[in-house]
Amino acid sequence: MCGAQREREERPLRVGIFGGTFDPIHLGHLLIAEQVMDEMRLSEVIFVPSGIPPHKAASSVRASAEDRYRMVLAAVEGNPRFSVDRVEVEAGRAMHTVETVPLLKERHEGDEWFFITGADEVSNLLTWREPDRLLEQVVMVAATRPGYDLSKLDHLEKELRNFDRIFPVECSRLDISATNIRRRVLQGKSIRYMVPDGVYRFITRKKLYSGELHPETTGTE
């Protein structure tokens, strides 16, 4: 038996899933994925760009699902523990995380599953589809910024049976958002060093976020 195989048999494989619109993916996303991987002792993180995000107005999604997927692919290049799954991009409809996770479990090897989100997003968990069932499928990792007030998650405790499956992890968060990046491009400002170089080149080459809405981004939930 080779060493890796033995290690695999002895230790449960802990896999992180990071879902998002990634319009575009930026260094804030990559930083929390990397730090959560350390803190939660994950062996890998699978990025799952949404096709049609269920929680966002269709008109607010600027780049096509394919372009957002390709940017995530460019962003994870060079990190052997990061990968990208196209399941939601190919779905052709809005998919909820509670539907996506079982598909990912079929497509990837893993024993324990974790879903990575920003803590602000977790505080909206009651608006997600079947949050308690989702918490049976995954441990929800809420990436907080230093000094984040955890009492913002308190209201979930009363509502969720599986509240104890939400796990805050403090990350050195960067104050970057995709909204801010899109706005800067529109204003002709630089986004260099807010996104990985490959993503920067992709946005520049394809002239993304310069004003035109991609025709694919017209779906509704």
Binding site for ligand ATP (CB under 6 A): 20-23, 28-29, 32, 117-118, 120-121, 143, 173-174, 176-179
Residue owning tokens 């479990």: 105
58 vs 176, which CB is nearer to ligand ATP?
Answer: 176
Do 111 and 12 meet the contact criterion of CB atoms below 8 Å apart?
A: yes
Smallest distance from the beta carbon of 88 to ligand ATP, in angstroms? 12
CA 85, CA 87: separation in Å to the nearest integer? 6
Contacts of 185 (CB under 8 A, 6+ apart): 191, 203, 208, 209, 210
Do 61 and 23 meet the contact criterion of CB atoms below 8 Å apart?
A: yes
- The angle subtended at Cα 21 by Cα 98 and Cα 191, nearest 5°, is 155
106 vs 192, which CB is nearer to ligand ATP?
Answer: 192
Helix axis angle, 197-205 to 65-76, nearest 10°:
150
13 vs 174, which CB is nearer to ligand ATP?
Answer: 174
Smallest distance from the beta carbon of 19 to ligand ATP, in angstroms? 7
179 vs 218, which CB is nearer to ligand ATP?
Answer: 179
Smallest distance from the beta carbon of 72 to ligand ATP, in angstroms? 10
43 vs 117, which CB is nearer to ligand ATP?
Answer: 117
160 vs 182, which CB is nearer to ligand ATP?
Answer: 182
Smallest distance from the beta carbon of 221 to ligand ATP, in angstroms? 15
Smallest distance from the beta carbon of 203 to ligand ATP, in angstroms? 14
Gyration radius (Cα) of the chain, Å: 17
Smallest distance from the beta carbon of 119 to ligand ATP, in angstroms? 7
CA–chain centroid gap for 130, Å, is: 19
Do 110 and 85 meet the contact criterion of CB atoms below 8 Å apart?
A: no
CA 72, CA 148: separation in Å to the nearest integer? 27
